[in-house]
Structure 1
Amino acid sequence: MSVKTTIFFIVALLASVVAKAAKVDTITIKAAEMPQPIEVTIIVPDGACATHRVPTVYLLNGFGGDHKQWTTTCKQLPALADQYGMAMVMPDGCDSWYWDAPANPRVKMETFITKRLVPYIDAHYPTLPEASKRAITGLSMGGHGALWLGIRHPDIWKNIGSTSGGVNILPFTERWKMKDALGAYTSATAKIWETHTVINLVPQMIPGANNIIFDCGSEDFFSGVNASLHQKLLEAKIPHDYISRPGNHSHKYWSNSILYHLLYFSRHFGK
């Protein structure tokens, strides 16, 4: 084989690899539910189109992060989107904890995601508009948000997860600007705080309403509250996958844990 022929085949091979790469978009959505436009990163796998719609995983960022946090934490997300044939949607969480904030009526992140973002994605991208073909997970604040939204809206997300999630906020009432959303923790606001933490949603959960995976590093400051959530789910007989593995609250941990979440979701999308 001549040098020119060899070069031609190498160029052709590289071109085919590029042609098959997932598409990464960043869009901005203006919405009455939020005081500022929300940026969203979207990954669409190769081959997805109007006649070949794909499942969707919503990935929520942590406190201090934004819509780019997940693609920075796990740079292989586009390749994973292609591998599993799934779209990924990453909205900027705006340090909102993904609530409709009782103490700030201008911030309605739960409403924005459930009523505006999900319909927008299904209308403008080749995604399957069914709860069984949607998943939501997130890291830290986003882990709390993913379970908060998923448990409260099983008609939107059948498959839900959390990695290093702040699943019980009550031990942390002075942290991460939560009082901007819920008000300072006092006897007068205690009920609001208690009803806005994931662990207290367990009594209203229905077995089988969601497929659930969550994990936390054994050296993470959220390790204890995740273990408590696991125990409460066991007592309530709510099926779930729970993993505690060595690790702390870090991008290194999340870049590994998300691999297990995507595999879990992929298997359930196929059922």
Structure 2
Amino acid sequence: MKLFKALLCVLVILLVVGVGQQTSIAASSNNPRTSSTMNVKFYSESLKKDMNLNVYLPPNYDAQDKYPVLYVLHSYKLNENHWFNDLKITEKADELIASGKIEPMIIVAPRIDNSFGVNSSEQTGFIKESGNPTDEGVLYTGKYEDYVTNDVISYVDTHFNTIKSRQSRYIGGTSMGGFSALHIGLRHPGLFSKIGGHSPALFVGEMWAPLEKLVFPTKEARQNNDPIALAASQKLNKVSIYVDYGDQDDFKEAGKKLDQVLKGQKVKSYEFHLGPGGHHDDAYWSSQMENYLLFYGGIDQD
């Protein structure tokens, strides 16, 4: 009966246009005993445009009513496919769930454009100095923090069997996505219980001028957007945080500034790792995927 209801729900989503929102879903598997992934397009009220996200449903999804959710954010110049296609998080999740090392969970990879996950303007657009709208590296403006914390979470909690509490909601990301996950997670400790910055693109000193215009246009914006500043100012006693870099990563020195701050804070748990020989690339992040998933969803093996 649960499987029938789940399939019926997907069919309704495909056929119905909601008030002010259109949704489309393409699923990769119809076998309830295996995991499945979905490509979803939905309308974001915060950005006033259609956005994409990928969803991973664990094996035997219909076997239990509710699941924790891990949100993963992509690197600069990439999209919602990064974690699923390039970093192979779904394959590693299948393996670790099957071996009993992590709890079954839903994994969501939303597109965040080249926005760094901040609320940079009321209107969605782009920083002209960063390029043309069709350029791969153009920086996007808009209410991207609100998009993640309001639109994405609301959509997922409405359409999938989620545990709707901070204790079972996690967020992480790589590079730009690592900055975004730390920024959003540290700004909203009431929404997330675990926050991961995987080679987060943090900045101290001089920056590319268009990027500074996007994320730190004023001193006040820096206090609100910079993960290092947020780590110093936010109440984090109920949050678990994981930060890592490859030891060949150019961002690691800025990461050490964050490490110094977090070591002085009262945090539920905190880990900082430097991976020997690791660079700022997919090869390093893929090599660490088991560690990442064990942080977010690890089951005590004792």
TM-score range, shorter chain: 0.7 to 0.9
Aligned to 2:176: 141
Separation in structure 2 between the aligned mates of residue 119 and residue 19 of structure 1, nearest angstrom: 25
5 Å matches for 1:185-196?
A: 189-196=218-225
Aligned to 2:39: 26
Separation in structure 2 between the aligned mates of residue 243 and residue 173 of structure 1, nearest angstrom: 25
CA contact (8 A) 1:29 1:39 kept: yes
Q: Among 76, 89, 98, which residue is 2:108 paired with?
A: 89
Segment of structure 1 superposing worse, 85-94 or 35-44: 35-44
Q: Give 1:194 shift.
A: 4.6
Cα 1:20–1:76 change in 2 (3 A) is farther
Cα 1:59–1:207 change in 2 (3 A) is closer
Letter in 2 for 1:243: H
Cα deviation 1:175-202 (Å, max 9, x = unaligned) = 7x5245247x6xxx34423542100012
Identity among equivalent positions (%) equals 22
Cα 1:162–1:148 change in 2 (3 A) is same
Cα 1:223–1:21 change in 2 (3 A) is same
CA contact (8 A) 1:21 1:79 kept: no
Gaps (5+ residues) in structure 1?
A: 1-17
Cα 1:170–1:37 change in 2 (3 A) is farther
Cα 1:172–1:44 change in 2 (3 A) is farther
Query: Please, what TM-score do these two structures have when normalized by structure 2?
Result: 0.75
Cα deviation 1:216-268 (Å, max 9, x = unaligned) = 11110111111111111112343411111120101000112232121011137
Cα deviation 1:37-86 (Å, max 9, x = unaligned) = 11100001112238431111100001101000111222251451571311
Letter in 2 for 1:263: L
Cα deviation 1:125-158 (Å, max 9, x = unaligned) = 1111111111100000100111111111122111
Q: Among 58, 62, 74, which residue is 1:45 paired with?
A: 58
Higher share of residues assigned strand: 2
Separation in structure 2 between the aligned mates of residue 192 and residue 73 of structure 1, nearest angstrom: 33
The answer as to 2:171 corresponding to 1:171 is: no
Cα 1:266–1:96 change in 2 (3 A) is same
CA contact (8 A) 1:141 1:165 kept: yes
Separation in structure 2 between the aligned mates of residue 207 and residue 19 of structure 1, nearest angstrom: 38
Separation in structure 2 between the aligned mates of residue 163 and residue 152 of structure 1, nearest angstrom: 18
Cα 1:182–1:161 change in 2 (3 A) is closer
Separation in structure 1 between the aligned mates of residue 299 and residue 73 of structure 2, nearest angstrom: 20
CA contact (8 A) 2:189 2:236 kept: no
Letter in 2 for 1:261: Y
Segment of structure 1 superposing worse, 256-265 or 85-94: 256-265
Cα 1:268–1:174 change in 2 (3 A) is farther
CA contact (8 A) 1:170 1:194 kept: no
Aligned to 1:260: 291
Tell me the secondary structure at the aligned position of residue 137 of structure 1. strand
Aligned to 1:248: 279
5 Å matches for 1:97-176?
A: 97-102=116-121, 105-106=123-124, 107-166=142-201, 168-171=202-205, 173-174=207-208
Cα 1:140–1:28 change in 2 (3 A) is same
Cα 1:62–1:171 change in 2 (3 A) is farther
Tell me the secondary structure at the aligned position of residue 49 of structure 2. coil
- 4+ residue runs over 4 A deviation: none
The answer as to 2:93 corresponding to 1:80 is: yes
Gaps (5+ residues) in structure 2?
A: 1-30, 125-141
Separation in structure 1 between the aligned mates of residue 260 and residue 76 of structure 2, nearest angstrom: 26
Separation in structure 2 between the aligned mates of residue 156 and residue 214 of structure 1, nearest angstrom: 19
Letter in 1 for 2:107: M
Tell me the secondary structure at the aligned position of residue 59 of structure 2. coil
Letter in 2 for 1:32: E
Q: Give 1:119 shift.
A: 1.4
Q: Give 1:203 shift.
A: 2.4
Letter in 1 for 2:240: N
CA contact (8 A) 1:43 1:78 kept: no
Q: Which has the larger radius of gyration?
A: 1
Query: Please, what TM-score do these two structures have when normalized by structure 1?
Result: 0.83
Cα 1:65–1:71 change in 2 (3 A) is same
The answer as to 2:79 corresponding to 1:62 is: no
Higher share of residues assigned helix: 1
